[in-house]
Structure 1
Amino acid sequence: MPFTYEYPRPMVTVDVAVLLREAETLSVLLIERGREPFAGQFAFPGGFIEMEERLADGAKRELLEETGVRVKWLAPACFAGDPGRDPRGRTVSAVFYTLLCERPGVRA
């Protein structure tokens, strides 16, 4: 089935907030963006979904691609989609979270 629709469509992205709890400390995993328009800024790992991909599967894939971290579960956290928040065009992000109890081996 072709993906056609008579109305303009936003881009759909996924982001993952990886929370790490060690003793009494809570940390979050961030990546540094390498490309414009946000090069050098910190963000949650994430990116664009594939056309036939479920949102949670896309979030796990992006997390693995960008950090080398593999997680078993994700839970939905929120959606971000304010018009004008991304200069590349209208973008809606599904944000997920996961909680880890030990520090993962992260690769850049």
Structure 2
Amino acid sequence: MAANAQPLRPLLAVDVALFTFMAAELRVLLLQRRHPPHAGAWALPGGLVDEGEGLEQAARRELAEETGLTVGPLTQVHTFGDPDRDPRGRVISVAYLACVPADQAEGAGPG
């Protein structure tokens, strides 16, 4: 590290890829973003991790807040860390996977 370099302080986020089967098809739940810079774009439910919060706890909270859903097991599947992926600054996102029955997914909406 260069003598004048500062340690990186990225934001930490979680996203949940929520899958279900409907009409014999595998589907994933996407939500339209409400806030800039990507307002109107489709995205997985998720958001920033709060101070003192664990990653899985944050994923469950974000999913409940954005969809009203609670899920069983969550599986951590990937970490996204491209420095240029978010115009607001450096964000590292930890992605989770979950599955729900179709009747539960049909009722998804803001919690």
- TM-score, reference length from structure 1: 0.89
Checking the alignment, whether the CA contact within 8 Å between 1:12 and 1:49 is kept in structure 2 is yes
Structure 1: unaligned runs, 5 residues or longer: 1-5
Structure 2: unaligned runs, 5 residues or longer: 1-5
- Letter paired with 1:10: P
Is the helix fraction higher in 1 or 2?
A: 2
Checking the alignment, whether the CA contact within 8 Å between 1:20 and 1:103 is kept in structure 2 is no
In 1, Cα distance between the equivalents of 2:70 and 2:52? 21
In 2, Cα distance between the equivalents of 1:16 and 1:89? 21
Q: Deviations over 1:14-51 (max 9, x none)?
A: 00000002463100001100110000000000000011
- Letter paired with 2:35: R
In 1, Cα distance between the equivalents of 2:103 and 2:9? 38
Instruction: Report the equivalent of 1:16.
Output: 16
Q: Deviations over 1:44-85 (max 9, x none)?
A: 000000111110010000000001011122001101110111
Checking the alignment, whether the CA contact within 8 Å between 2:77 and 2:96 is kept in structure 1 is yes
> How many matched pairs?
103
- Letter paired with 2:92: V
Identity %, equivalent residues: 41
Matched, 1:98 2:101: no
SS of equivalent to 1:103: helix
Shift of residue 99 of structure 1?
1.2
RMSD (CA atoms): 1.3
